[in-house]
Amino acid sequence: MYVRVLKQLKASGKTVISSNSLGKLLQITPAQIRKDLSYFGKFGKQGRGYNIEYLLAALNKILGIDQEWKACLVGVGRLGRAIINYPGFSPHGFEIVACFDIDKSRINEPIAGMSIQPLGQIKNLVKSNNIKIGIVSVPADQTQGVVDLLVAAGVKGILNYAPISPVVETDIIVRTIDPVTSMQSMTYYLKGY
Amino acid sequence: MYVRVLKQLKASGKTVISSNSLGKLLQITPAQIRKDLSYFGKFGKQGRGYNIEYLLAALNKILGIDQEWKACLVGVGRLGRAIINYPGFSPHGFEIVACFDIDKSRINEPIAGMSIQPLGQIKNLVKSNNIKIGIVSVPADQTQGVVDLLVAAGVKGILNYAPISPVVETDIIVRTIDPVTSMQSMTYYLKGY
């Protein structure tokens, strides 16, 4: 979220930002910002605010987003196709280089410069392409099986669009995209209104 | 995330879960689970685990998701249409009852039992329908203006699909859905591999 907001500030032509203003954009306190950033070093001088370009470059490096990351996608249905064709990943260094589906009628179908592959190809292609991230857009009942295949093949991060939370070992990082969960995380604060 | 995982456990027929197993599903420590839940009361007995149905009902009530919430959507482009037609909201009590677009050619177009309205109708319809949540799926340069209109009309929560973080007062809750941010939040942990 820091990176997202700092990029936005940079694009708007700003060069310096106070922890107060940054806090307002991130909906957190200035104290929390200082605490968050202090884990990684010293990024601002008392009373001068943060240099946006410098902080952004530092965070990009810390977070590992100053490099290219290869991803694959499993489940080339309606949602999967939308994700594959989403133009926002590649400018941020994320490239979907392989996609897989369980449906035999889809195998070898061309999409975005790739061709859809069977699940049996996950192991080969993850290894040969050094893919570290798997995007999962399959139905609930297929999620755990697909995640297990990806992890066995060497994937370390899962971006999960499925409506089920898979069980994984602690060294595997899962991020869930679920608009219902996002909605539900707001209503606690809206109850009084 | 607790609610999501507990629903999943309930659907699978489980009735009790230990904080260890729950922690594994949520990728947090059992200690964190006890700490999280202790904010709201006492939900389990030492050594017996949590009663899934009881904990789920309690969390639904605490989070305010045991009631219906009305939402509107602004920006009925390709993404907006997918969100409106997404079947996952309504079973969880979220109903999109109005939608708006700036494009005159779309006004009065029927979609999912509604008709697309101009931005000038936001104030009327938010008030008359008691809408508390606004879903924003407009281009970056329109985001702040649309959020300002929604907040002025009485919306208290924003589900933001736009690639920009709007500035809002502290009593307005914003949740962002951005797959790039989710990807970037994983790579820190993947750097070593």
Encode pLDDT of A114-160 as tens digits: 999 999 999 999 999 999 999 999 999 999 999 999 999 999 999 99
**A49-51 β-sheet, strand order:** A16-17, A49-51, A44-45
Give dist(CA A44, CA A6) in Å, integer.
Answer: 14
User: Which DSSP letter does residue A56 get?
Assistant: H
Q: Could you tell me the pTM of the whole model?
A: 0.89
pLDDT band at B46 (very low <50, low <70, confident <90, very high): confident
Please report residues of A whose CB lies closer than 8 A to that of B180: 4, 88-89, 92, 94
Rounded distance between C-alpha atoms, residue A21 and residue A27, angstroms? 10
Closest alpha carbon within chain B to A63: B188
| Mean pLDDT of chain A, nearest integer | 94
B175 vs A182: CB contact, 8 Å cut-off? yes
The predicted structure's pLDDT at residue A44:
76
- Asked if pLDDT for residue B74 goes beyond 90, the answer is yes
- Residues B58-78 have a mean pLDDT of 95
Closest-CA residue in chain A for B161? A179
Q: Which of B186, B189, B193 to mutate to test the interface with A (most CBs of A within 10 A)?
A: B186
Which residues of A fall within a CB distance of 8 Å from B157?
A: 183, 186-187, 189-190
pLDDT value, residue A35: 92
Nearest CA to B2 out of A139, A161, A178 is that of A178
Q: What is the mean pLDDT of residues A154-180?
A: 94
How much is the pLDDT for A128?
A: 98
Confidence of residue B44 (pLDDT cuts 50, 70, 90): confident
pLDDT of residue A133: 98
pLDDT at residue number B192 = 80
- ipTM over cut 0.85: yes
Quickly list H helices, A93-139. Answer: 122-128
Given a contact cutoff of 8 angstroms between Cβ atoms, the answer to whether A108 and A102 are in contact is: no
- Residues of B with Cβ-Cβ distance to A174 under 8 angstroms: 27
Question: Can you give the pLDDT at residue A45?
Answer: 75
Contact B4, B59 (CB under 8 A): no
Q: Does the pLDDT at position A163 exceed 90?
A: no
CA–CA separation, A179 and B88 (whole Å): 9
- The answer to whether the CB atoms of A189 and B170 lie below 8 A apart is no
| pLDDT above 80 (res A185) | yes
Does residue A47 have a pLDDT over 80?
no
Mean pLDDT of chain B: 94
Chain B residue with minimum CA distance to A25: B167
Note the pLDDT of residue B102: 97
Q: Which of B8, B159, B182 sits opposite A183 (nearest CB)?
A: B159
Residues 54-113 of chain A whose Cβ lies under 8 A from any Cβ of chain B: 62-65, 69, 71, 82-83, 86, 88-89, 92, 94
Contact with chain A for residue B179, Cβ under 8 A: yes
Please answer yes or no on whether A24 and B167 come within 8 Å at the CB atom: yes
